[in-house]
Structures are given as C-alpha cells and as structure tokens.
Structure 1
Amino acid sequence: MAIASPAGPWRTALPALGLLWIALGFIYAGALTAMVGIWSRSDTFAHAFVVPPIALWLAWRKRAELALHLPRPSLWWLLPFAAMALLWLLGELVAVNAATQFAATAMLVLVVPLVLGTRVAAVILFPLAYLFFAVPIGEFLLPVLMQWTADFTVAALRLSGVPVYREGLQFIIPSGSWSVVEACSGVRYLMASFMVGSLFAYLNYRSAKRRWIFALVSLLVPIVANWLRAYMIVMLGHLSGNQIAVGADHLIYGWVFFGVVITILFVIGARWAEAPAEALPPPAATPLERAGAAWQSWAAVAAAVLLALLPHAAIKRIEARDASGPVQLVLTEPAAAGWQSAAVADDKGWRPAFRAPSAEQRARWHNDAGVAVDLYLAYYRGQDDQRKLVSSSNVLVASSDRDWNAVHTQLKPVALGARTVEVRQTALMSPMSTREHARMLVWQLYWINGELTARDVRAKLLSAWQRLRGQGDESAAIVIYAADRPGQPAEAALRGFLGANLDTIERALQAARDRR
C-alpha cells in the first residue's frame, strides 16, 4: 500500500498528526519561540537551527519503509504525554526554561507514536530523538567544564616547566595573566560534536553497539581537545611574548583546532562503516485494525489537545491567586546582643550579582572583636524568565569579574544551638594584592516561603510545591559574608552572626511576604 493512497489509513493519520502539531505549536508557542530566540542569540546553540531540517530529511529517507506499515494509534502514549504536560507545568511554575522547552519538544515527538503507532515511530526513532538536539540544554555544564579546563591547563603548564600561580579560574605565569571564561569551557565544541557525531554514527553504522560507542567518543573527544586547545593557546602566547593567540585569533585558533580534530575523528570512524540493513516487511493488518485506525487517530488528537490545555488552565488559576504588588523589605529589628550596626560598604566593594530582585537590602554589623559581617537580602515575587531567584545569572562572582575569584564552594551544615542549617560556603579571593580584604568567606542560603535550603534543585521544588498549594512564589536569597584575615577567621564570625540573627532575618522576610 502506498503512503499516498487516498483509500488508505495514511489519508486520515497524516492530516490528524499535522493538525495536532499545529495545535501544539499554538498552545506551546511561548516555549517554542523562546527556544528559537536562544538559538539566534547564543553561539552555543546556533547549531539547533539545522536540527529540524535534518530530522525531516532523515524521516523522508524512510518513506519507502514507512509505506509498508499501517498507522495504528497507540493511545497508551497519552501517559508519557501527560507526564510531559505536567513537567511543563512544573517548569513554568518555577521559571525553568529547560524544563518547559524540553517538555514542549517531547510532546511534539510523543504524538507521533500516539497518532501513527509504535511500529511507525520505531522506523523513524532516530529522527524523532534527534529533535531533542534543538532543546538548548547544557549551559549547566559550564562551571564543571571551566574547572576541568583550568585544572588541565595549569597541570600541563607545570609539566612543561612553566611556573603557575592559580586563584580559582584565573592564573598567572611569568609572561602574563590568563583566565578561563565561558568561551574557554568547550561547551560549544561539545554540543556541536555530539550532534554531528550522533548523525554520523546513525548514517554509517548498523549495529547499536558501534553507534553508541562512536556517539560516546564524540562526547569525550571535544572535552579533551578543548583542554589541549587551552593549553596550546596559553603556550603560544607565552612563547611569543603575547604576540599571537590573544584577542580575536584566540577564538579562531580554537575553532580551527576543533575542526581538525573532528575531521580526524570522522575519517577514523569511517573505516568501520557498515552497509545499511534491509527493512523487514511488517505483519499484515487485519480488516478490523484498518477500520479502527481512523476513529482512533482523531480520538488521540482530541485527548492530546485536552491534556495540552490543562496545564495552561492550571497556570492561569495559580497566577490569579499569586500576589503581584511591590515588595516592602525592611530590617526593623536591631541585631542581637553582641552585634552593633555599622555603615554599609560602598558599591566599590564586593556584592552578590543577583539580577532584578523585587526588593533588596544590605546591612553591616560588627561584633565585640571588631569583625564586620555584611548581610545581603534579595527578595523575589512574581518570578518569570527575566526575574527569578534560582538562575545561572544569579551568582556570587560573575565570570567577567576581575576583582574577585570564587576559589572553593561546598555545602556545609552549621549547628546553631538546637537548630542545624545547611549553607553554601564559598571562599573568595582577590587577585589584587593591594586590596585591603584580599580574602572573603561567603555563606548563602535560600528562603522559600518560610523554608530554608542551600540547594538549587530543592529550592526549585519547594517553590513549585508552594505555588501549587496557592502560597505564591515568595522567596529570597540570604547572603552573609566577612573578610577572612589572619587572627580573625571569618567562619567563626559568620557562625556567631547567623546564630544570633537568623530568626530576625526570617521575621523580616515573613513580614515582607505578609504585606502582599
């Protein structure tokens, strides 16, 4: 039976699938257009523009094999479809773009086995899976990849006999100073290599084992290649007296090196290429299956549209209950005994880089020993993509900061009498030897509508739970910090301040919440 036969079930199934895709495109237009916006403004995900055309071409190559199958809707695929609708709802509640965009893409993919059937979807499994390369996920790897790059580069320089002084992601060698920034992480190479490597493996290998091995290699090679690229650029700059491998040619050399490495990878991989397997004819469909396929296709479309609309209805109801007025955040209570207020440091000093809070407060106190502790509060209400508490743009030290480096971060339980609170402890260091406070210790935690946590994921989950309960998205960041000097350890001062004043801070946040 030809796929274009007017009397065949494909005549019903394909229009049903097309209309369902159009409906989902309208319902989830926000997530899908946001994806395209990221592609256009981020070099890391610019490759995603070619993903949909490639997926369509891969599916078109299978048209002869698809024509052998009868489209038979599989209504049980409504279960994972509903799970993705729920994921979109949770992502929307806590403004996690990766979750909403992944869910929207997954729903577009899942309607294929839903409307056309599992056997049809299995024929084009890789083209369907390939669409997930369009989802801009991966920037969470930046800190880890930057750390690995810095570790390898410093170790390789020392093995080469070059003395290195390192502070976090910045290091100094005799010929000058260098810094590992986002562009040095290699995440762009990693994304592009994995996307192209997976396509190469699918087109050139038949066995699943070879495909997975090559895909894994295409993940590992760009990571190691980026380490070598960073080391080579630093060495070229060092040996040339910083005449080459700096400025614009820094990036040019990186892409040229990456292109050479990937070309070699594909040349080697082509040696084990396999001929494509012949398609096996599917089992013949019974007349009853042919007759039931038509009405099941439209039933699947109706059920999918209903499930897709439900989370939007839930969001509208939740947003109608949430507070949206201005936040009044005031520290009215005095500090506990043993702590006296002091003038707040001016803006030339360090401060956390939190983006567009609904309200913020800064204060400073010092104890009887003269150790000063600073407090920074950033309160968030009515969070969205541009303003949210837990975000990659809310950091203690921006990568572009040349005055401070985050040299170490860990989660630390702090005993405060009968209460134990987990904080995120970060050690900061200034590369400027003339700065008065060259070292600083920072404690950070989140307040989520009365709950405290130092973990990003738990903060997101708590926020989603609070919104589902109708409690709004009231949340805040609590950051305390102190200079770490010889004879005046900052940790003891921070512990004493938090133990004496955490209740006061929480009451101020609760008062801001209750004034909505």
Structure 2
Amino acid sequence: MNENPALAGAASGRLSVPKIAVIVAVFLALLVLYWGTAASMVAVWNSSETFAHGYAIVPISLWLIWRRREVFSRIPAAPYWPALPVLALCGGAWLLARAGEVQVVMQYAFVFMVPVAAAAVLGRRLAGALAFPLLFLLFAVPFGEVFVQPLINFTADFTVAAVRATGIPVLRNGTLFELPTGNWSVVEACSGVRYLISSITLGSLYAYLSYRSTTRRVLFIGLSIVVPIIANGLRAYMIVMIGHMSGMELATGVDHLIYGWLFFGLVMFIMFWIGSYWRQEEAVPANAGAAQAAVALPAKSIIGVAIATVLVGALWPALGALSDKAAYNPARVQLDGARLASSPAGLPAWSPEFQTPDATLKGLYTAAGAPVHLNLLYYRNQGPNKRLITSVNRVDNRKEAFLQIGSNGRLEEIRGQKLALRETRVKGPDGNYLVWHWTWVDGQFVANDYLGKLRQAKAKLMLHGDDGAALMVATPVGEQADTARATLRAFLDANLAPLQATLEAAREH
C-alpha cells in the first residue's frame, strides 16, 4: 500500500506529547529567567485598577489558541532558526531597558519573547496561524500612563469648550476651572485612560473574533481608540452639568466615577452593537491533506532549537547580573550645600513627591528680592523602588495639596550655558508656584526623560554607575510669570555652577 508523502509529512510534524512537553518547558524556562519582570507586571495589576485586566489576558490568549487547535493537525511543527536573532534583539532591548530602569520596555521585551520563541520552536507557519492569540499577550503589559497628561489636557479643553457653548461662563486656570456654582479640576481619574485601555483591549479582541477582513479589523480598532476619548469628554461635560444644575449636590463625590463607568459601558455596548452589523463568518479551513506538501523536521530538531532558544534567553539576565555587580557603588552619598553662593533662610514650603533618594539638599533662599525653594534629590544604585526617572515621581505633591496646572519645555541661558528644563505651574495651599526642574545624569544636565533614561543605561552598561539627580527650583508666581522667571534665573546665575560642582563631587566620592 502506497503512503501519501504529504500526509506522512504532516503526520510527522504533529505535536506529540514529548514535543508538547519540550515547548512548554521552553516557555516555563523563559518565565523563570525573567521572573522579576513578570512579577513587576503582576505588582502593577495588583496596585492599579487601570491595569487589573492584566489577569484576564493570559487565560484569554490560551482560550484563543484552543479555539484554533485544529491548526496543530493541519500545519506541521517545523523549527524556525531565523527567529533566534529576533529573540536576541528582544533580550538586548530588555538588558538596555533594565540598565535604564525602564520597566515598561523590559516588560514588552519579555512578553514579545513568547511569540518569537513560539516561532522558533513551532515554526513560522504554525506560529503565524496563532499570531493574534500570541500577540494578544502584549495587552498584559501595564502601559498607558504616558497618555494620562495629554488626556487630561484634552478632557479639560473639551469640557470647558462644551460648557461655554452651553452658555455658562467659565474661568479656567490650566486643568482647573470655575463655574458660578462651584470649582472643578481634571485629575488622573478623570483622564479616561482606564476607558481607553479597556476599549482598545476589548475592541481588538472583538475585531479578531468578528471580522476576517484586515481593513474591517483596523477600522474597528481605530474606532475603539477614538470613541472612548470623545466619550470621556462627553462624560466629563455631563458630570459638570449635573453638578451645576443640582447646585453641586450631585456628581461631586464618588458619584461621578460611578456615572462614568455606566456611561462608558453604554458607549461600548452601542459600539459593539453597531459593529455587529458588519460581522463576518469564520473562514472554513482548507483541506488538511491537500494543504500540507512540506515535510516537517524530526523531533530532535525541535529539541535542538528549544535548547538554543533557552540559551539565547538566558544570556541577557546573566549579562545584567554581571553589570549590576560591576557598576554597584557602596559609597554613601554626601551633598555639600556649603558650595552654594546663597545661604538658606529656612526650609522650602513646597516639595515634590518623589521616591526616596539617597541624599537630599533643600532650602529656602532669596534671589532678586523673592524667595526661591530648592530641592535636589540624589540617587545611586537605582532599583524598582528607588528611581530618578519614573512616572510616579511628581513635581506636584498632592499629599500636601500641591496640584500641577500646566507644564512646558524651556531653554534658558545661564551665564552663557544653555540649560534645557521643564517649567511647571503648581497650585499650592498658599498660592501658585513656578517650578523649573531638570535632571543630572552621567555628568550632564538633561530635561528629556527619554534621553535621561538612555544616558543612564549607557553609563551603567559601561560600568560608570547609575548616579543621577533631580534638580528643582521654585518661586511664587502671580499674573506676571516673567517676574518669577527672572527670580529663578537670578538664583541659577549665582548657583548653577556650584550645584554642578556639588553633584560631581558626590559622584566622585
């Protein structure tokens, strides 16, 4: 009896129990090697309701793979060695992000290793047939905080414009605005980032399950991005109007969050309901026997590529451990405030909200006849709970009733030296402050956080250490911001060089 070679090839490539065990072992090995990164994701899921959906991503991905289990009998497993250089790139990105303490990049690099490892062990065709279930794991990464401030600004702009269009006078100050009946502010909880992340995740899943056309999928995912942003603006407007019409008795406490989720749920329901009219039936898979003409590689090839995958994955944590050991600086940080040209007149009333540094230098000074608040925070041997540049570090301090109402970049000239910095307005319990802030990384002043992270990663990988500092000067500001800027400029004219010398001395020590 003659055997069909195509069927024989397909049969040899089917996943037997030993092959499944090898594949599972590869994924478990990656999880163990990058356990700290995986644990950091879970920690964010636990601490933030915005990313609590992360717990559901892995079960959904496994369910999506189970729905497509027939592909394992149609497409033979054929190890794909060219995936290993891509895996190495993921590991290199993870190592670079680790040196710069950029958790979100570490997490994305780790999660992306899963589909790449699947391509290496299962083969390009089989992993390609499971591309969406594997890539869906990327939604487990807690990412989106970078959009909070732009969303806050958009929501404030939308709400104020809508209220004014209604005929109600509004007095605005950054993200704070005042109506005749009361005061409102757009804060993180009002930014709509939770709605946006939930909508994109659900929209992507719905598009994959409901449509076969790439165009329809892309259009629906685009809709799931635009709709929640507009809907959040409408939500904020309705809440303000409910509060205004009720004399600030309704929608002013926890109520407005409840109203927001009910409104968001209604918007999502309408969006999915409309999208269902363009639903496409699932395509029927092609005949299994006719589809497979390629002969799969033997089981020993899968074992070989599996071992190579684990070795490539293990290289980067090993290099990271060596870098940590070589760059670690056990010396205690000392900041000499006596180098400053000005003498402190007390402690500053304003202070930022940062992770605890290794050393601080703060004081209340006088420049151009006005008070100047100085806060210098120095970091060494940085880790997850002690980082110079992170989204949890804030110039405003809400625990002490300081609230940011606006921020932008500036380029100042201090004694012939160009200094890039951020200018932020902060509203405090005793008035408004104008804050100039920037960082010092690897001996250079930096205003851009991304550039700062790159410099930190470079310094650590070159075994220079990861020393860095946050510098902030603030002064009270009224309607004339230029007066406050002149005060800060006068202070830095006298003290920028001594501050830089103080930082260099601390690093050399």
Partner of 1:62: 68
CA–CA separation in structure 1 for the residues paired with 2:155 and 2:149: 10
Q: Do residues 331 (structure 1) and 337 (structure 2) align?
A: yes
Relative to the length of structure 1, the TM-score reads 0.91
SS of alignment partner, residue 101 of structure 1: helix
CA–CA separation in structure 2 for the residues paired with 1:164 and 1:334: 45
Q: Shift in Å at residue 478 of structure 1?
A: 1.1
Partner of 2:311: 306
The change in CA–CA distance for 1:29 and 1:334 in structure 2 (over 3 A counts) is closer
Among 114, 119, 122, which residue is 1:113 paired with? 119
The change in CA–CA distance for 1:354 and 1:410 in structure 2 (over 3 A counts) is same
CA contact (8 A) 2:26 2:310 kept: yes
Q: Shift in Å at residue 198 of structure 1?
A: 1.1
CA contact (8 A) 2:350 2:373 kept: no
- Report the AA paired with residue 510 of structure 1: E
CA contact (8 A) 2:114 2:134 kept: no
The change in CA–CA distance for 1:406 and 1:129 in structure 2 (over 3 A counts) is same
Q: Shift in Å at residue 329 of structure 1?
A: 1.4
Cα offsets for 1:128-172 (capped at 9, x unmatched): 111111111111111111111111111111111222222222222
Q: Shift in Å at residue 112 of structure 1?
A: 0.8
- Report the AA paired with residue 85 of structure 2: L
SS of alignment partner, residue 332 of structure 1: helix
Q: Do residues 506 (structure 1) and 500 (structure 2) align?
A: yes
The change in CA–CA distance for 1:187 and 1:293 in structure 2 (over 3 A counts) is farther
CA contact (8 A) 1:73 1:293 kept: no
CA–CA separation in structure 1 for the residues paired with 2:129 and 2:498: 62
Partner of 1:452: 445
- Report the AA paired with residue 61 of structure 1: R
Could you tell which deviates more after superposition, 479-488 or 462-471?
479-488
Q: Shift in Å at residue 295 of structure 1?
A: 2.7
The change in CA–CA distance for 1:273 and 1:451 in structure 2 (over 3 A counts) is same
Could you tell which deviates more after superposition, 207-216 or 59-68?
59-68
CA–CA separation in structure 1 for the residues paired with 2:196 and 2:206: 15
SS of alignment partner, residue 343 of structure 2: strand
CA–CA separation in structure 2 for the residues paired with 1:238 and 1:503: 52
CA–CA separation in structure 1 for the residues paired with 2:486 and 2:40: 46
CA–CA separation in structure 1 for the residues paired with 2:167 and 2:478: 33
Could you tell which deviates more after superposition, 192-201 or 454-463?
192-201
Aligned pairs for 1:324-363 within 5 A: 324-335=330-341, 340-346=342-348, 349-363=349-363
Q: Shift in Å at residue 72 of structure 1?
A: 0.7
Partner of 1:277: 283
SS of alignment partner, residue 224 of structure 1: helix
Cα offsets for 1:464-491 (capped at 9, x unmatched): 0000110101000111222235788121
Q: Shift in Å at residue 7 of structure 1?
A: 5.9
CA–CA separation in structure 2 for the residues paired with 1:235 and 1:268: 28
CA–CA separation in structure 2 for the residues paired with 1:153 and 1:399: 23
Cα offsets for 1:483-513 (capped at 9, x unmatched): 2357881212222322332221111111111
CA–CA separation in structure 2 for the residues paired with 1:324 and 1:179: 45
Partner of 1:232: 238
CA contact (8 A) 2:12 2:76 kept: no
Among 27, 43, 48, which residue is 1:42 paired with? 48
Q: Shift in Å at residue 405 of structure 1?
A: 3.8
CA contact (8 A) 2:14 2:75 kept: no
Aligned pairs for 1:199-238 within 5 A: 199-238=205-244
Q: Shift in Å at residue 113 of structure 1?
A: 0.8
Identity %: 38
CA contact (8 A) 2:7 2:292 kept: no
Cα offsets for 1:1-21 (capped at 9, x unmatched): 999x99655225422211101
SS of alignment partner, residue 473 of structure 2: strand
CA–CA separation in structure 1 for the residues paired with 2:126 and 2:157: 48
Cα offsets for 1:421-457 (capped at 9, x unmatched): 2111223345x6xx3xx34322111111211110000
Could you tell which deviates more after superposition, 405-414 or 301-310?
405-414
CA contact (8 A) 1:139 1:187 kept: yes
Aligned pairs for 1:406-417 within 5 A: 406-417=404-415
Q: Shift in Å at residue 227 of structure 1?
A: 0.8
CA contact (8 A) 2:361 2:376 kept: yes
CA–CA separation in structure 2 for the residues paired with 1:37 and 1:429: 32
SS of alignment partner, residue 44 of structure 1: helix
CA–CA separation in structure 2 for the residues paired with 1:63 and 1:429: 57
CA contact (8 A) 1:9 1:293 kept: no
Among 168, 171, 175, which residue is 2:177 paired with? 171
CA–CA separation in structure 2 for the residues paired with 1:344 and 1:499: 21
SS of alignment partner, residue 424 of structure 2: strand
Q: Shift in Å at residue 299 of structure 1?
A: 2.0
Partner of 1:443: 436
Cα offsets for 1:293-343 (capped at 9, x unmatched): 4233122222221122222122221221210343111222240xxxx4241
The change in CA–CA distance for 1:267 and 1:506 in structure 2 (over 3 A counts) is same
SS of alignment partner, residue 360 of structure 2: strand
CA–CA separation in structure 2 for the residues paired with 1:468 and 1:477: 21
Q: Do residues 384 (structure 1) and 383 (structure 2) align?
A: yes
Partner of 1:424: 422
SS of alignment partner, residue 247 of structure 1: coil
CA–CA separation in structure 1 for the residues paired with 2:278 and 2:81: 40
> Structure 1: which 5+ residue stretches go unaligned?
none
Among 143, 147, 155, which residue is 2:149 paired with? 143
CA–CA separation in structure 2 for the residues paired with 1:253 and 1:400: 26
- Report the AA paired with residue 156 of structure 1: A
Q: Do residues 465 (structure 1) and 477 (structure 2) align?
A: no
Q: Do residues 10 (structure 1) and 15 (structure 2) align?
A: yes
CA contact (8 A) 2:50 2:194 kept: yes
> Structure 2: which 5+ residue stretches go unaligned?
1-5
SS of alignment partner, residue 344 of structure 1: coil
Partner of 1:128: 134
Aligned pairs for 1:457-496 within 5 A: 457-485=450-478, 489-496=483-490
CA contact (8 A) 1:13 1:116 kept: no
Among 270, 280, 300, which residue is 1:295 paired with? 300
Could you tell which deviates more after superposition, 415-424 or 501-510?
415-424
Among 320, 340, 347, which residue is 2:325 paired with? 320
SS of alignment partner, residue 75 of structure 1: coil
The change in CA–CA distance for 1:83 and 1:414 in structure 2 (over 3 A counts) is same
CA–CA separation in structure 2 for the residues paired with 1:446 and 1:427: 18
CA–CA separation in structure 2 for the residues paired with 1:162 and 1:400: 32
Cα offsets for 1:175-194 (capped at 9, x unmatched): 11122121111111111111
Partner of 2:3: none
CA–CA separation in structure 1 for the residues paired with 2:47 and 2:365: 43
CA–CA separation in structure 1 for the residues paired with 2:335 and 2:424: 26
SS of alignment partner, residue 312 of structure 2: helix
CA–CA separation in structure 1 for the residues paired with 2:435 and 2:216: 48
CA contact (8 A) 1:357 1:379 kept: yes
